[in-house]
Structure 1
């Protein structure tokens, strides 16, 4: 029983070594196969960062301003 287990483990190790060495084809970590995504990369030297003005944003709340009423109508529960 133990001999079969050792034989199976040796075969599994050989298969793993063959897969890592590239017998079954290139590994996914070996790099990209097509160059199309390389043409669409964003170049960080071309990006500019600027602050958002209050007039450009609708989601920025005004700190210290009045709280808007929620658009949900509420009523008391009848017992």
Structure 2
């Protein structure tokens, strides 16, 4: 029984090597078949970075300042 398991593993290993080597055709990542992905990429020249004002920030602590108490509501659980 162990001989059959070893034979199947060797066969599976050979098939995996053949697939990686390209014997079943080119891999999907080797060609440009899906050009719509290239058209949907973000262009870095269109991006801009702007500084946020303190009124726009959510929970940004001041470095070196006191830590604010978290906005957590607690209640007793019913037993």
TM-score of the superposition, structure 1-length normalised?
0.51
Separation (CA, whole Å) in 1 of partners of 2:18 and 2:70: 67
Aligned-CA RMSD value: 3.8
Of stretches 52-61 and 16-25 in structure 1, the one that deviates more from structure 2 is: 16-25
Which is greater in Rg? 1
Residues 19-58 of structure 1 aligned to structure 2 (within 5 Å): 19-20=19-20, 22-58=22-58
CA change 1:39–1:29 in 2 (3 A) is closer
Unpaired runs of at least 5, structure 2: 1-9
Unpaired runs of at least 5, structure 1: 1-8, 75-79
Structure 2 equivalent of residue 77 of structure 1: none
CA change 1:73–1:34 in 2 (3 A) is closer
Aligned residues: 70
